[in-house]
Amino acid sequence: MILDEAARVDDELYYAVRPMLAVSGGALMLLSTPFGKRGIFHQEWTGGEGWERYRVTAEECPRISAGFLEEERRALPAWAYRQEYCCSFEQTDDAVFDAEMVEAAITDEVKPLFGTS
C-alpha cells in the first residue's frame, strides 16, 4: 500500500489502512515531502521503527534544473523552499509557538484539564 503525499494524509486514514495489511502481509510505503513537524509522517520519519528511509533532495534529482531551483528559492519563503526541495521538517514563519516550545511546556507534573481522568 502506498500513501503518496503522506505528510498531508490525515492520521486517521493512516490508522485505518494499517489493518488492511494484516492478512495480505503487504508492505506499507509513505512517500512525501515534509509538511511541518506534525502528523504521522513526521512521527514515523523521526522515531518510527522498522522503516527504510530514503531522502532525495531536489538538488540530487537530475530531472530538476539548477535554474528552476534558483527561481523557486527566490519565489518562496526560505522555510517553504527547505521543506519542499530539501526534505526539511520546518516550522512556519507564522507559528506563535514552535514545536520545541510546545514540547517544553508539557510535563507530567501538571494534570491535563481534559481527556484523561
Residue (of 2, 3, 6, 4) closest to 89 by Cα position: 6
Sequence-ordered list of residues with C-beta below 8 angstroms from that of 54, at least 6 positions apart, any chain:
none
In this predicted model, what pLDDT tens digit does every residue of 65-76 receive, in sequence order?
A: 999 999 999 999
Model pTM score: 0.76
In this predicted model, what pLDDT tens digit does every residue of 34-63 receive, in sequence order?
A: 999 889 999 999 999 999 999 999 999 999
Q: What is the mean pLDDT of the chain?
A: 90
Q: Is the pLDDT of residue 97 over 90?
A: no
What pLDDT was estimated at residue 74? Answer: 98
